[in-house]
């Protein structure tokens, strides 16, 4: 029987959000007590700054979305609350569109590189098979897994997420202002990281398999996420909810739950939703 040891997550933002809520509560209490503090601490630009800071911390300061939110928050805070005139207010929206376009183009190029690697692997294996070795569907799976590995040696689907089928043992999907629909067929699923910001992710794990305790990071910010899991998996949600909803729509059959197959969901749901289903 698998032992659930509750491993420490290096990317858990629950503690950060706890301090954020604590800080807001203290500021509201000080206001009720008539104790003075700068009003901009509870202004709407601070919301953008807090969201951007938390997202950057959770993604080890490598999040495009977090950087944009932090940048906009700082700009509007300095302009509206402190009277700074940058003279670029007429250019903010066009510049934002340009940055978003560059980001999407970059991710599409990365997706194209991944698909090209898959085709190259298949061509190489086809060439080898013509010299006497057999070529089967398992070779295609090996090519897919090999091409999905990033520079750090971990399997990934690309920053923008490539909709379709994946044989990788790990998933790494960022759906930002977009939607990603992915079906995972790995028989040794190892978890990964899912981020939906102003977008949505549908991850189908109904034909996947895992052994022991597997942790997956799920972060939803103004978006939605749906996970379809096998009915015999033990799925445990340990997410932080802020103005969000988590719906577990699985039909519980306690006698059919396999204690050796545990999927632990960790992360933050902020102004979004997470839905878990099984068939």
Q: Is 164 helix (H, G, I), strand (E, B) or coil?
A: strand
Domain assignment present for residue 123? The answer is no
Instruction: Say if residue 75 is in the same domain as residue 168.
Output: no
Instruction: Say if residue 57 is in the same domain as residue 161.
Output: no
Sheet strands side by side (includes 164-166): 164-166, 179-184, 200-204, 224-228, 273-277, 245-248
How much is the pTM? Answer: 0.55
Q: Which one of 90, 113, 129 terminates a domain? A: 90
Average pLDDT for the chain? 75
219, 196 Cβ separation under 8 angstroms? yes
Over range 109-128, report the average pLDDT.
Answer: 67
- Number of helices (H), then strands (E), belonging to the chain: the values are 5, 11
Domain assignment present for residue 198? The answer is yes
pLDDT on residue 198: 81
Q: Which one of 48, 69, 90 terminates a domain? A: 90
Domain assignment present for residue 78? The answer is yes
Tens of pLDDT, residue by residue over 199-236, are 899 999 999 999 999 999 898 888 899 999 998 899 99
Distance from first CA to last CA of the chain, Å, rounded? 24
Instruction: Say if residue 188 is in the same domain as residue 265.
Output: yes
Instruction: Say if residue 53 is in the same domain as residue 163.
Output: no
- Higher local confidence (pLDDT), 110 or 186: 186
Print the domain residue range for 58. Answer: 14-90
- With tokens 């194209």, the residue in question is 112
Closest CA to 278 of 218, 235, 224, 225: 235
Q: Which one of 90, 108, 134 terminates a domain? A: 90
Domain count for the chain, please give it. 2
Domain assignment present for residue 107? The answer is no
Cβ neighbours for 77, distance < 8 A, ≥ 6 positions apart = 40, 43, 45, 46, 49
Instruction: Say if residue 201 is in the same domain as residue 274.
Output: yes
Instruction: Say if residue 169 is in the same domain as residue 251.
Output: yes
pLDDT on residue 158: 37
pLDDT on residue 39: 80
- Higher local confidence (pLDDT), 4 or 56: 56
Domain assignment present for residue 29? The answer is yes
Domain assignment present for residue 275? The answer is yes
pLDDT on residue 264: 94
Tens of pLDDT, residue by residue over 139-174, are 444 444 444 444 333 333 334 445 688 888 999 888
Domain assignment present for residue 169? The answer is yes
Instruction: Say if residue 78 is in the same domain as residue 160.
Output: no
């Amino acid at each position: 029987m698998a032992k659930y040891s509750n491993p420490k997550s290096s990317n858990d933002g629950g503690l950060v959000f706890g301090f954020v809520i604590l800080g807001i509560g203290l500021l509201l209490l000080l206001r009720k007590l008539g104790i003075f503090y700068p009003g901009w601490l509870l202004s709407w630009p601070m919301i953008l700054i807090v969201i951007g800071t938390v997202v950057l911390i959770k993604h080890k300061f490598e999040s495009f979305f977090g950087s944009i939110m932090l940048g906009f928050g700082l700009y509007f805070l300095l302009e509206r609350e402190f009277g700074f005139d940058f003279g670029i207010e007429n250019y903010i929206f066009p510049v934002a569109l340009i940055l978003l376009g560059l980001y999407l183009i970059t991710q599409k190029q990365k997706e194209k590189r991944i698909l090209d690697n898959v085709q190259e692997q298949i061509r190489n294996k086809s060439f080898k098979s013509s010299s006497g070795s057999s070529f089967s569907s398992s070779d295609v799976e090996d090519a897919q897994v090999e091409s999905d590995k990033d520079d750090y040696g971990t399997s990934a689907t690309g920053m923008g997420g490539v909709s379709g089928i994946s044989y990788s043992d790990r998933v790494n999907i960022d759906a930002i202002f977009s939607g990603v629909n992915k079906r995972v067929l790995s028989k040794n699923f190892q978890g990964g990281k899912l981020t939906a910001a102003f977008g949505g992710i549908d991850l189908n794990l109904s034909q996947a398999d895992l052994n022991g305790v597997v942790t997956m990071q799920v972060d939803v910010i103004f978006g939605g996420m749906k996970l379809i899991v096998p009915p015999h998996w033990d799925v445990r949600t340990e997410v932080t909810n802020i103005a969000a909803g988590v719906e577990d729509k699985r039909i519980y059959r306690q006698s059919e739950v396999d204690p050796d197959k545990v999927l632990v969901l960790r992360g933050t749901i902020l102004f979004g939703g997470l839905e878990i289903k099984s068939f």
